[in-house]
Amino acid sequence: LTFLGELTNHQDKAKSVIATYESNIQKVKDAIKNQQPARVAVLRATGKGVTAETDEAVTASMVKELGMTNVVASHLEGTTKDKTVPYSLETLTADNPDIIFVVTMGKEEEIT
């Protein structure tokens, strides 16, 4: 975001957006600090199917930043640079996450 601000000569706007984001993240962290971290699955639905996001993907990285646990990580061997991985409904059921986020990609008619 800083780079885009510099590129478009809107550095002040970029700094403002970043500060607002960081402030909101801190508010959420403060609000949930005394709670048990939620176990979360972040699913990405596309016209080709459904996969699970790793911490390399945007939504799952936000989940991690908020202190939640991405249940998909327990199925990964070592580190991965992949943003998504195959993830079956059976595994989702067995993992039994507290929260399931569904992120969509593609044209609406391809996803529904």
Q: The pTM is what?
A: 0.75
CA atoms within 13 A on the CB side of 33: 6
Backbone phi, psi, residue 80, to 5°: -135, 150
Nearest to 86 by CA among 59, 51, 54: 51
The 10s digit of each residue's pLDDT in 78-103 is: 767 889 899 999 999 999 999 999 99
Give the single-character DSSP code of 35: S
Residue 72 has pLDDT above 70, yes or no: yes
What's the rounded Cα separation, in Å, for the pair 98 and 24?
A: 22
| Domain boundary assignment for the chain | 2-32, 39-111
The 10s digit of each residue's pLDDT in 19-52 is: 998 999 899 889 888 888 899 999 998 888 889 9
Is the domain covering 39-111 a CATH 3.30.830.10 domain? no
